[in-house]
Structure 1
Amino acid sequence: MSQGFEIQVFNRYRNKMEIEKVYGDGMVKFAYGNPIGRLLGPVIASKMLSRLYGKSQDSLKSAKKVAPFLKNFNIAIDQYQKGSFKENPIETSYHSFNEFFIRKFQEGQRTFTTNDDEMGAFAEARYFGHASMSDDLNVPVKGSMLRAVELIGDNELAKDFIGGPLMIARLCPVDYHRYHYPDSGKTLKAFTVPGDLHSVNPLALKFRQDIFIKNERRVSILDTEHFGKLAYIEVGATCVGKIVQSFDESGPFKKGDEKGYFLFGGSTVVLCGEKGKWAPSEDILKNTKAGIETYIHLGDVVAQAS
């Protein structure tokens, strides 16, 4: 996962390992690696702090952070749509940092795989993947922290996913922050599991291995056309102002439809599947075994139907 405090990620498109530049890494190290920071843990992971910080990203003043952020993280902003101020250059077109944060891709920048037996990447993110969830699963967290029952928070619903495949898509603050449906289908059930708002950064996970089951999360049980039932779990994180469902879940969805978005803060989408229905792509499985995430574009292939 990381060497010291470096986060290594395999870039599928450049076919090489890269060191991730972490936004706010000093704060993460303080909060989880420093004794004083750990004492302040309950405050740092509190909803109140995250909501207040998230709200501050809605102010007009916060828009001033966009141009330096683009430069610092070398974001290809020409791939995205402008914000509210259409007459301005794109760098100054967003009325707040949050508007920039939930920017949309321009038409045609990302397309979903059209093959029925290929699952499209549901987020532009860094992926871990496992062929089956088991009690000895230890990447990226130790022990039984990724058992379906604990992730989903409902014993009865979780039964369908025990021993099934699992993918974890981690979004960084620099990423496109909308998440999508990996296949066509319908929503069977959707609910929120209350919890804290710890950082989901791998640096935090080194110190705190129960984050995925302690954090607040939104769970949707999906019935898909080609991959069976899926538990689609959006995990909240420190300073994530809000998890927003932009799709009307009472109706059917199509592969690639936008499901929702995270307001300010990097976060994570976890996908659990039924045993034997599908498996993550080979490069994801291989890199995961080495403790390394794979960077994948929205809509690209992340799994195959069995």
Structure 2
Amino acid sequence: MSQGFEIQVFNRYRNAMEIEKVYGDGMVKFAYGNPIGRLLGPVIASKLLSQIYGKSQDSLSSAGKVAPFIKAFNIRIDQFEKGSFADKPIEASYRSFNEFFIRAFREGERAFTPNDHEMGAFAEARYFGHAAMHDELTVPVKGAMLRAVDLIGDHALAEDFIGGPLMIARLCPVDYHRYHYPDDGKTLKAFSVPGDLHSVNPLALRYRHDIFIKNERRVAILETEHFGKLAYIEVGATCVGKIVQSFDESKAFKKGDEKGYFLFGGSTVVLCGEKGRWVPSDDILTNTKAGVETYIQLGDVVAETY
């Protein structure tokens, strides 16, 4: 892989292609594009290293990184709630980098589509989407790695999702890192699948085709009102200190309710559906065929029922 590798993303709101500015770009290239880095892969992808690094982002001293980070990545910080130190300017209001990392949107900044036939974006992220999972899929990883049984890790539970639609929402370190329910419903079953913590950066995916089934992940099987059963899969990544479930899964949920959040690191949410129940939005499908992700804001339309 050349050092000139760039991540292109289609911005739905600007109707234009953009080059993603990657946090930690040099480290990702070293870890996955350098022979020495690949030798160190088991250490880099270890849970212990990510937990240690994640804990460092909880320290008071880590708050010093917030203001430079906001400036470097042009984050619209006015869209978010302040942190623990509410009497200070918002850039200085977060007690740690992790508190900034899991910042919440201000009331009214994002709204979920109110239409029952439209699925709301469950994360503010860069989306790939397929109308059906099959072995010929080539984006973003080899098709065999996108089989429902491999993603879910349970043959019996995966039966409902064979040949069904699939969406992959990749969150960057610069993004809002809370994830939400795309429709009304209830949780049928939820469990964790142990694994590594490789980067989910597209560069890493080019070198490691099995990241989504090798990484640690949490699976929830949801029964939704308008989209049938969904397998909602949160995938850990390098330096993700923790995947936190903030919603009481014993209770029914509503479209737009917060489900949980990732502590520091880039992360991914994968959504699998039942065959013939829904299809990702046209722009997601078109861009995916071209090997390009689509940037979509939380709550905007990402799929529709047939």
TM-score band w.r.t. shorter chain: over 0.9
Question: After the TM superposition, which residues 107-126 of structure 1 pair with which residues of structure 2 at under 5 Å, given as runs?
Answer: 107-126=107-126
Could you tell me whether the CA contact under 8 Å between 2:120 and 2:299 is conserved in 1?
yes
Runs of 5+ consecutive residues of structure 1 not aligned to the other structure = none
> Residue type matched to 1:11 in 2?
N
Q: Percent of aligned positions with the same letter in both sequences?
A: 84
The superposition leaves residues 269-296 of structure 1 with CA deviations (integer Å, 9 ceiling, x where unpaired) of: 0000000000000000000000000000
Q: Could you say which residue in structure 2 is the equivalent of 1:142? A: 142
Q: SS state of the match for residue 119, structure 2? A: strand
> Residue type matched to 2:218 in 1?
R
> Residue type matched to 2:244 in 1?
V
What is the deviation of 1:138?
1.0
Runs of 5+ consecutive residues of structure 2 not aligned to the other structure = none
Question: After the TM superposition, which residues 90-109 of structure 1 pair with which residues of structure 2 at under 5 Å, given as runs?
Answer: 90-109=90-109
Could you tell me whether the CA contact under 8 Å between 2:223 and 2:229 is conserved in 1?
yes
Q: Cα distance 1:3–1:289, how it changes in 2: closer, same or farther (>3 A)?
A: farther
What is the deviation of 1:143?
3.2
Distance in 2 (CA, whole Å) between partners of 1:169 and 1:3 is 25
Q: Could you say which residue in structure 1 is the equivalent of 2:195? A: 195
Could you tell me whether the CA contact under 8 Å between 2:145 and 2:209 is conserved in 1?
yes
> Residue type matched to 2:131 in 1?
A
The superposition leaves residues 22-57 of structure 1 with CA deviations (integer Å, 9 ceiling, x where unpaired) of: 000100000001000000000000000000000000
Distance in 2 (CA, whole Å) between partners of 1:194 and 1:241 is 14
Q: Could you say which residue in structure 1 is the equivalent of 2:19? A: 19
Distance in 2 (CA, whole Å) between partners of 1:7 and 1:57 is 26
Distance in 2 (CA, whole Å) between partners of 1:81 and 1:259 is 18
Q: Cα distance 1:298–1:53, how it changes in 2: closer, same or farther (>3 A)?
A: same
What is the deviation of 1:4?
4.7
CA RMSD in angstroms, aligned pairs only: 1.0
TM (normalized to structure 2)? 0.99
Could you tell me whether the CA contact under 8 Å between 2:197 and 2:236 is conserved in 1?
yes
Q: How many residues were matched structurally?
A: 305
The superposition leaves residues 167-191 of structure 1 with CA deviations (integer Å, 9 ceiling, x where unpaired) of: 0000000000000000000000000
Q: SS state of the match for residue 6, structure 1? A: coil
Q: Could you say which residue in structure 1 is the equivalent of 2:242? A: 242
Q: SS state of the match for residue 167, structure 2? A: strand
Distance in 2 (CA, whole Å) between partners of 1:71 and 1:282 is 34
Distance in 1 (CA, whole Å) between partners of 2:98 and 2:289 is 35
Moved beyond 6 Å, runs of 4+: none
Q: Could you say which residue in structure 1 is the equivalent of 2:158? A: 158
Distance in 1 (CA, whole Å) between partners of 2:55 and 2:135 is 39
Distance in 1 (CA, whole Å) between partners of 2:209 and 2:30 is 17
Q: Could you say which residue in structure 2 is the equivalent of 1:9? A: 9
